[in-house]
Structure 1
Amino acid sequence: MQRRKFLKNSGALTAGMLATPIIAAPSDYEKNQKPIDTQSNATIPIAICTWDFGNATAKAWEVLSAGGSSLDAVHQGVMVEENNLDNQTVGNGGRPDRDGNVTLDACIMDKDANCGAVLAIQNIANPISVARKVMEETPHLMLVGKGAEQFAYEQGFEKQNLLTEQSKKEWEEWKKTSQYKPIINIENHDTIGMLAIDEKGDIAGACTTSGMAYKMAGRVGDSPIIGAGLFVDNEVGGATATGVGEEVVRTVGSFLIVELMRQGKSPQEACEEGVKRIIAKNKDKQDFQIGFIAINKQGETGAYCIHPGFTYRTYTKQGHVNNPSGSYLKS
């Protein structure tokens, strides 16, 4: 079934599902919703991530402020959400596919364009760590499914049941109707993408997700695809995405944004153009959300999305802030 027809012919999620919070409210950092002028406050080191995952950026900043590398910062940062059982869209406790299997995707990329990814891996709580092992211990860039899982065991990762009672209960409720339709600014918490620049000026990025809840078995979005869900060029900057991954893949969104910055656009201008490219390919269909964040070599940041509601976290010496993103549609 074609994806467009699949979404068009599906109904909304069950009422019980919609009533469940997607992620728990963070409790161990101070919320700050005041926007900052990121373009005029360029600084390094810096950590930035999609959505209000402040615990993740706090961990990344802990690494950066101690003189650690951007690679270690993004790795340890996104692991916070992989291990957060209250976040049912990343890592352990993620919502399953329609067959009841939790499948995870992740990728990581360093300053030298080294990268690694795992796709549709099961039974491993920290796919970002396996992705890094792929990058550092194999001649390959991507491992998929059972092959990725077997590699993880060979690297010492333990097998773990990732389907928590909460996610299992919601899946069983969903099966009563088996209706599927992503809801704007709910489905898009399926990803944490993070970028960082360390005190040496080197850039790295990471992206991890459990994908859309109740997806077809085997579905993979943009998140673990280098160039789509994440791209880093240490001469220029980096970008990462969240939202309906199929649309990001069609424009190779993160690579596009980095190349636009190479051509002289600011991170903000590049993110806006990235969204507009997607809109141009979906002139009669705007019932989905896409959000991009980007950072350039100087530490300037940008973000843009289709629908209002997307935010992104920044952590620098100037503070820890949740920034509202501009949007193509205003309501």
Structure 2
Amino acid sequence: MKRRKFIQNASLSTLGIAVGTSVFASGMKTSISEEKNLKNETSGFPMVIATWNVNDSTAEAWRVLKEGGTSIDAIEKGCMIEEANAEGQSVGLGGLPDRDGNVTLDACIMNKEGDYGAVVYLQNIMHPISVARKVMEDTPHVILAGKGAEQFAYSEGFKKVDLLTEKSKKAWEAWKKTSQYKPIINIENHDTIGMLAIDENGDISGGCTTSGLAYKMAGRVGDSPIIGSGLFIDNEIGGATATGLGEEVLKTVGSFLIVELMRQGKTPQQACEEAIGRIIKKTPNFKDFQVGYIAVNKKGETGYYAIHDGFWVTKYQNDKNENFASDFYDKK
């Protein structure tokens, strides 16, 4: 399964923040953990987990961790691998453009102290995850956008790069012939690389990087760079990150919700399932889009869950770099 096989709703509606009542409390049948008594038997650290089949990225993050590096260093280096992968068409170089033909990037990073940095609508820079880290560490701000983010990157020594590859340009030109926006579940269109890591000291960091929704309206920003939605880390509890239709993740503040559920005693798997359940409960047309979550707790236990089939994760733990198909809600 290719990691890009993810899709989203046809409408780009106004974004809102609204956390709903738990579907589990309402009696809706969703908890796979409860039905099948599934347990994540693997724990321990160092470890790294990421959305999609990104073995090269997790291998680089693992290398940093095994050499005694910090979790924040592992996140940056791991995400950079995928950002430089022109074949991926969803992160960094070669990302599919917006409707005007511009490749625009969103990314965020969060460390063990709860510090956070993000860039939104960034153009002409290959490694937005690194710029986001610079925002976090070298400025008094947490988010820089558009031309301001781009100018900041240049001031920090980043080079201007034409991100629109010939492959992505041809795909965009083919799309323009109809300019139809009728997404179908698990047809290549859009996805995000989210990564969580725990170093040998037990400290957790996370990152999220994407070129966003293919052929989106100019200026659109999804959940990936927004803390609490695309990513959230609490070093006392754990971390979570999301992929899929950002509009729906934003409306339920999904990653923050998962960490808070783990704080209440749920396993990472149970927390991911409930976060998906919140979306299903509040959105009758959930069959039209996809969302997936991954999570890790302080013990190094992980969880992952999606609305539909087709979501994969990569985990490097106990010297094994493995891909796993995620369980999902909509069994049809």
Query: TM-score, structure 2 length as denominator?
Result: 0.88
Cα distance in structure 2, aligned partners of 1:239 and 1:110: 13
Match of 1:49 in 2: 50
Q: Could you say which residue in structure 2 is the equivalent of 1:146? A: 147
Give the distance between the partners of 2:39 and 2:189, measured in 1 at CA.
Answer: 23
RMSD of aligned residue pairs (Cα, Å): 1.6
1:210 aligned residue: 211
Q: Report the alpha carbon displacement of residue 321 of structure 1 after superposing the two structures with TM.
A: 1.1
Q: 1:102 corresponds to which letter in structure 2?
A: V
Corresponding residue number in structure 2 for 1:277: 278
Shift of 1:38: 6.8
Matches within 5 A, 1:95-106: 95-106=96-107
Q: Per-residue displacement from partner, 1:132-158 (whole Å, max 9, x unpaired)?
A: 000000000000001100110111111
Q: Which residue type is aligned with residue 312 of structure 1?
A: V
Q: 1:38 and 1:312, CA in 2 relative to 1: closer, same or farther beyond 3 A?
A: farther
Q: Classify the secondary structure of the residue corresponding to 1:240.
A: strand
> 1:267 and 2:272 equivalent?
no
Q: 1:55 to 1:76 in 2, by over 3 A?
A: same
Aligned runs of 1:1-331 on 2, under 5 Å?
6=11, 39-187=40-188, 189-331=190-332
**Deviation (angstroms), 1:284:** 3.8
Please give the alpha-carbon distance, in whole angstroms, between the structure 1 residues aligned to 2:266 and 2:151. Answer: 43
The question of whether the paired residues in 2 share the 8 Å contact of 1:193 and 1:206 is answered with: yes
Q: Is the 8 A contact 2:9 2:288 kept in 1?
A: no
What secondary structure does 2:11 align onto?
A: helix
Q: Quote the Cα distance in structure 2 between the aligned partners of 1:5 and 1:183.
A: 9
- Deviation of 1:330 after TM superposition, in Å, equals 1.4
* Distance apart, 1:41 and its partner CA: 1.6
Letter in 1 for 2:274: E
**Unmatched segments (≥5 aa) in structure 2:** 1-7, 14-37
Return the offset for 1:39: 1.8
Cα distance in structure 2, aligned partners of 1:4 and 1:190: 13
Alpha-carbon distance change, 38 to 75 in structure 1, aligned in 2, over 3 angstroms: farther
In the alignment, structure 1 segments of 5+ residues that lack a partner are: 9-36
Aligned to 1:239, the other structure's residue is in SS state strand
3-state SS of paired residue (1:156): coil
Query: What TM-score comes out, normalization by structure 1 length?
Result: 0.88
